[in-house]
């Protein structure tokens, strides 16, 4: 139910993001989703790739601090109000979203969103009880 | 004017006689009144009666910062606590702070040497003195205060901070003398400019700037921007606080009151004296103190000494500006900081032992800034910004409370802190102090 996100600590310095992306590219690892949260001095790169374990190993070998984080990728109807409906059900169940971002690809009339919950277990129970389509690690690789 | 001309202009022979007599009395006094010193005398097999001249000082034991810490709080006192009238505590070292107790006579001594210092800088009775050193456990504020009262100045106990109020005090009362850290003097200058005032038009004519090292280029900057004579004052709380020595208007070395604070300059490795003019560690014996007199206290400050009489008429030896330290202590805004303190703070947070470094800079308006760069190891790292921010805040709060200086914490990537021969360089000081 959960997929692996790689989170990387980056200083706000020229070229650090390019360094990570080049490393992934050189090793034939494909980025599926990506976002950066930044402060004045540093940022955290959050990315979903097709080969997370290999990617995190390469990135840490290069001297970056990185880890794997469990996130949930959910299909959201690509229509006005699609995301709002999903979020509303989380609100009603008292589930807090830490952050979220979108996938680069989308399948047909669905958008793919990555969610980071403070309580993933509770979130997954909710997702199961609704008819949300949750994307698995193998789905990510075949995207 | 010279506050104690009979002493400050004494011939070297007379001075040496006086120092010898006082040293002998001191040896007897600490032997009879302090257990730690008595044991040391007995260990090395000397009796106070063996001390007959100032030259005999080399047979006495050294006292170190470590001794002061190990004997916390009252171990090095030579008076029972109830006979002490004032206590100061300095932070700035790991473990126990340094405690200094003053008897009434010691407070009088402090007043006297500070009166000498103020006169040395050019103060005249009736002048108004604005004391913008901090009042409290830090000795700067009260030291200047006592000296001002002693020599008949009008003292404004402004304490530090609240810069606009300092400027208003200056405008309204027209004090001739300003006493604060040199970096604060520059900060005041900037503040005046930002208020649309011309700092050169300030009322201050003389400054006693100390509690932190500063370079001649910084002196020039202060003198030009404030239109002031900027003099250097040196002291340390273990000895008395400010008032150990002071520059006269000729600004050619700091006059040391060697009739009460006897200086030796030694090779820090061998403990042997170095020749006049050579750099070495300043060692001070408090010849006349009663509360916590110290024998041959190792200041860890590197200076040279000049015994020639000064053109100002004073014959007291002059020490150079502080040229460095024998340890890794750094002084930031007048506060003593050891890198090991930072290490302890980081270790106390989540038990992490990250690589870190201090970057110290002096901003253009003269205030030192300290940035603590902490490498983000996996144990610290989180994918959530709020957790990284919380860690930053926690480090900052801990460090600020231990060091009592406002620091900035910056999280950096691993490998930022340069490692040489396996030992990281912990302090990057960009201030050009020498």
DSSP letter string over A9-48? EEES-TTHHHHHHHHHHHTT--EEEEEEEE-SSEEEEEEE
Whether residue B264 sits in one domain with residue B353: no
Whether residue B296 sits in one domain with residue B347: no
* Among chain B residues, CA nearest to A70: B383
Whether residue A114 sits in one domain with residue A75: yes
Query: What are the tens digits of pLDDT across the range B36-91?
Result: 999 999 999 999 999 999 999 999 999 999 999 899 999 999 999 999 999 999 76
Residue that finishes a domain, picked among A69, A104, A123: A69
Say how far apart CA B154 and CA B150 lie, in whole Å.
Answer: 10
Alpha carbons within 13 A on the beta-carbon side of B214 = 30
- Residue B93 scores a pLDDT above 50: no
Query: Which domain covers residue A43, as residue numbers?
Result: 2-69
- CATH at residue A40: 3.30.2130.10
Whether residue B154 sits in one domain with residue B102: yes
Max CA pair span of chain B: 73
B311 or B213, which is more confident? B311
Residue that finishes a domain, picked among B274, B303, B327: B327
Query: What are the tens digits of pLDDT across the range A10-64?
Result: 999 899 999 999 999 999 999 999 999 999 999 999 999 999 999 999 999 999 9
Contacts of B385 in chain A (CB under 8 A): 37, 39, 44
- A6 within a domain of the structure (yes/no): yes
A106 or B301, which is more confident? B301
Give me the phi and psi of B146, to 5 degrees please. -60, -40
Whether residue A77 sits in one domain with residue A62: no
- A143 within a domain of the structure (yes/no): no
- A98 within a domain of the structure (yes/no): yes
Do A63 and B411 count as a contact with CB atoms less than 8 A apart?
no
Give the length of chain A: 143
Out of A41, A63, A98, whose CB is closest to B384?
A98
Residue that finishes a domain, picked among B298, B327, B356: B327
Strands B318-319 and B254-256: antiparallel
* Total number of domains constituting chain A: 2
Location of structure tokens 């490795």: B269
Out of A5, A42, A67, whose CB is closest to B411?
A42
Contacts of B377 in chain A (CB under 8 A): 65
- B353 within a domain of the structure (yes/no): yes
Residue that finishes a domain, picked among B327, B352, B383: B327
Residue that finishes a domain, picked among A35, A54, A69: A69
* Total number of domains constituting chain B: 2
Query: What are the tens digits of pLDDT across the range B243-296?
Result: 999 999 999 999 999 999 999 999 999 999 999 999 999 999 999 999 999 999
- CATH at residue B403: 3.30.300.30
Query: Which domain covers residue B220, as residue numbers?
Result: 81-327
pLDDT at A11: 93
Say how far apart CA B247 and CA B216 lie, in whole Å.
Answer: 13
pLDDT at B133: 95
Contacts of A69 in chain B (CB under 8 A): 383
**Measured between CA atoms, how close is A66 to chain B, in angstroms?**
7
Out of A10, A39, A44, whose CB is closest to B383?
A44
């Amino acid at each position: 139910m959960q997929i692996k996100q790689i989170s990387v600590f980056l200083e706000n310095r020229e070229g650090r993001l390019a360094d990570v992306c080049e490393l992934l590219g050189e090793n034939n690892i494909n980025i599926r989703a990506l976002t950066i949260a930044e402060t004045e001095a540093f940022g955290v790169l959050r990315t979903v790739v097709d080969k997370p374990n290999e990617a995190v190993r390469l990135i840490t070998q290069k001297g970056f601090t990185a880890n794997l984080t469990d996130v949930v990728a959910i299909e959201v109807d690509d229509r006005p109000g699609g995301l709002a409906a999903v979020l509303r059900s989380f609100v009603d169940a008292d589930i807090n979203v830490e952050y979220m971002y979108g996938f680069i690809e989308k399948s047909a009339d669905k958008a793919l969103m990555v969610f980071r919950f403070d309580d993933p277990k509770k979130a997954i129970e909710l997702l199961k009880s609704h008819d949300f389509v949750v994307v698995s690690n193998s789905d990510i690789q075949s995207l | 004017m010279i506050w104690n001309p009979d002493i400050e202009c004494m011939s070297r022979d007379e001075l040496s006689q006086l120092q010898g007599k006082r040293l002998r009395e001191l040896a007897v006094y600490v032997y009879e009144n302090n257990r730690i010193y008595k044991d040391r005398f007995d260990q090395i097999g000397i009796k106070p009666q063996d001390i007959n001249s100032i030259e005999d000082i080399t047979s006495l034991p050294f006292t170190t910062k470590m001794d002061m810490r190990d004997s916390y709080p009252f171990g090095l006192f030579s008076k029972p606590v109830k006979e002490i009238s004032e206590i100061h505590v300095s932070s700035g070292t790991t473990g126990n702070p340094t405690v200094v107790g003053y008897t009434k006579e010691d407070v009088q001594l402090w007043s006297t040497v500070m009166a000498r210092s103020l006169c040395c800088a050019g103060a005249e009775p009736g002048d108004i003195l604005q004391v913008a050193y901090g009042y409290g456990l830090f000795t700067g504020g009260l030291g200047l205060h006592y000296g001002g009262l002693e020599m008949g100045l009008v003292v404004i106990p402004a304490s530090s901070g609240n810069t606009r109020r300092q400027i208003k005090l200056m405008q309204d009362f027209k004090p001739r003398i300003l006493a604060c850290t040199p970096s604060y003097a520059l900060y005041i200058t900037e503040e005046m400019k930002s208020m649309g005032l011309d700092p050169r038009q300030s009322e201050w004519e003389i400054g006693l700037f100390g509690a932190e090292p500063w370079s001649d280029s910084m002196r020039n900057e202060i003198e030009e921007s404030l239109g002031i004579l900027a003099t250097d004052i040196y002291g340390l709380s273990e000895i008395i606080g400010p008032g150990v020595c002071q520059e006269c208007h000729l600004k050619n070395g700091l006059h040391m009151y060697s009739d009460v604070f006897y200086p030796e300059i030694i090779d820090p490795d061998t403990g042997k004296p170095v020749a006049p003019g050579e750099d070495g560690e300043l060692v001070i014996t408090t010849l006349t103190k009663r509360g916590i007199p110290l024998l041959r206290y190792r200041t860890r400050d590197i200076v040279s000494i000049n015994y020639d009489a000064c053109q100002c008429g004073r014959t007291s030896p002059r020490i150079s500006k502080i040229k460095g330290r024998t340890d890794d202590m750094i002084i930031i805004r007048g506060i003593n900081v050891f890198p090991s303190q930072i290490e302890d703070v980081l270790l106390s947070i989540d038990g992490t032992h990250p690589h870190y470094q201090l970057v110290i800079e002096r901003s253009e308006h003269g205030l030192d800034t300290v940035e603590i760069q902490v490498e983000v190891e996996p144990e610290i790292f989180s994918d959530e910004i709020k957790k990284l921010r919380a860690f930053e805040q926690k480090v900052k709060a801990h460090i600020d409370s231990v060091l009592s200086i406002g620091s900035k914490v910056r999280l950096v990537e691993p490998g930022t802190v340069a490692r040489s021969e396996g030992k990281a360089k912990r302090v990057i000081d960009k201030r050009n102090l020498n």
